Structure 1
Amino acid sequence: MDALDVMSTPVISVKPEMTVREVAKVFVEQRISGAPVVDAAGHIVGMISEGDLIHRTELDTDKPQRRGWLDLFSLNRDASEYVKSHGLRVADVMITDVVSVDETTPLGKVADLMETRRIKRVPVKRQGTLVGIVTRANLVQVLASMVEEPATLDAAPNDREIRAMLMGELAGRSWAFAGRNIVVRDGVVHLWGMFQSVDAVKAVLVAAEATPGVKRVEDHTESYPVFVSGL
């Protein structure tokens, strides 16, 4: 799936010349927590979110001025924070380093951008113009909308096929080392062997549960014994 398949449209956007209070009203009325800022031509020039509005002089939540010799190294930051907390227009408080994607960008890349850049929404463009927005909520909605279709009896894999699929999934993974064995009987996966890591056991359990045709998974694994010298 691509951004085009899940993006919200039309997009609620704001203008750089709008006041901070006007944007706050838009957030409340539209029940959103952020919006792209677009110019008259529809081009994205910034992003603004609730996080940009929480440290405001009107709320008495603006950060206090720094004092002491450290001010010599923080003048630029102090000035920026002052603009953020006292600026009256969207252009004063918006973030200009905007991360956006094309409508054909795969969802996997969109999710990676959200994680690495620590952002909650990504504007979607078509030929440079804003056409939609993908939020974290959109991705969760896609997951919630997926329907698990049970395999028909004719198409259900047999035990040997289930084991082969699971072994193939585990092949080459460092945590799925050779100290384990997998037995599949009547669609039930039995995990045997010794593991040094609880996380490794959990990862194998997850892989088994996600394998087509598996009815349930039974864990018979044991932890490696810990030998203490001198005892």
Structure 2
Amino acid sequence: MTATVVTVPPETPVPEVARLLQEHRISGVPVVDDSGKVVGIVSEGDLIGHAGAIGEQRRSWWLRLITGEDALARDYAKTHARTARDVMTARVVTVPETASLADIARQMERHGIKRVPVVRDGRLAGIVSRSNLLQALAATDVSKDASVDDRTIRERLTAELKAQPWAHMMTKNIVVENGVVHLFGFVRGEEERRALRVAAENVPGVVRVEDQLVRREAYPAA
């Protein structure tokens, strides 16, 4: 995570928030109260629709008819807000310091967000962005543990594939010799073939993957 985080208090004027985003070349800024608790986040998306940036926008009459009054009022408050408190997204996805990279990546994907504040005892401790995840991935040690025996490799790979609905293990056979994984059987297409290879390559101790798989379409039905 990035430990030094640019933050703003709730009363920060919207133009000041926009200036900070541009000055620090960031796409979002957490909003924190006096105790350091994260109460919201302002992203570029929150500011793009602001009346100060795009001018006054009028909804078409038919859209006003199908949109409830509460939603219209909420939209007006957000697009005409003067402070971070009123323009921010209040429902903030956060993670604890103990969260794994995989957990953080899943949160970003699930919620369609670019950054996740990290909290410690309810207070902001840092922030993880997509670029932080890429840096961590690039620095990951992907070397294999050569001491893992063939049986263990096969057991780990089989367990991984059995948990995947696309693997169809009834039509597969896996043989491991001296760290080399031999994949036999049938696949439905190239995507399944590639996923099988990737799964095998990720098992510690694997030296190489030999693909002996055959596309099912290549053989006529009995």
Q: Report TM bin, short chain.
A: 0.7 to 0.9
TM-score normalised to structure 1 length: 0.79
Equivalent residue for 1:137? Answer: 131
Q: CA deviation at 1:179?
A: 1.9
Q: CA deviation at 1:122?
A: 1.9
4+ residue segments displaced more than 6 Å? none
Q: CA deviation at 1:198?
A: 4.1
1:160 to 1:26, Cα distance in 2 relative to 1, 3 A: same
Are 1:47 and 2:38 matched, yes or no?
no
CA deviation vs aligned residue, 1:198-231 (integer Å, no higher than 9, x gap): 4433322112222334333232222224768xxx
Equivalent residue for 1:221? Answer: 213
How many pairs does the alignment contain?
219
1:94 to 1:173, Cα distance in 2 relative to 1, 3 A: closer
1:205 aligns with one of 183, 188, 197: 197
Distance in 1 (alpha carbons) for counterparts of 2:157 and 2:94: 37
1:169 to 1:13, Cα distance in 2 relative to 1, 3 A: same
CA deviation vs aligned residue, 1:25-66 (integer Å, no higher than 9, x gap): 111111111111112232222110111111122333654323
Task: Please say if residues 181 and 192 of structure 1, whose CA atoms lie closer than 8 Å, have aligned partners that are also in contact.
Answer: yes
Instruction: Show the 5 A alignment for 1:1-231.
Output: 7-60=1-54, 63-68=57-62, 70-71=64-65, 73-149=67-143, 151=145, 155-157=146-148, 159=150, 162-171=153-162, 173-174=164-165, 175-185=167-177, 187-225=179-217
Identical residues among aligned pairs (%): 42
Return the structure number with greater helix share: 2
TM-score normalised to structure 2 length: 0.81
Question: Which has the larger displacement, 100-109 or 16-25?
Answer: 100-109
Task: Please say if residues 47 and 53 of structure 2, whose CA atoms lie closer than 8 Å, have aligned partners that are also in contact.
Answer: no
CA deviation vs aligned residue, 1:112-170 (integer Å, no higher than 9, x gap): 3322222222222222222212223222221111123355xxx4445555445433443
Distance in 2 (alpha carbons) for counterparts of 1:148 and 1:128: 34
Q: CA RMSD in A?
A: 2.8
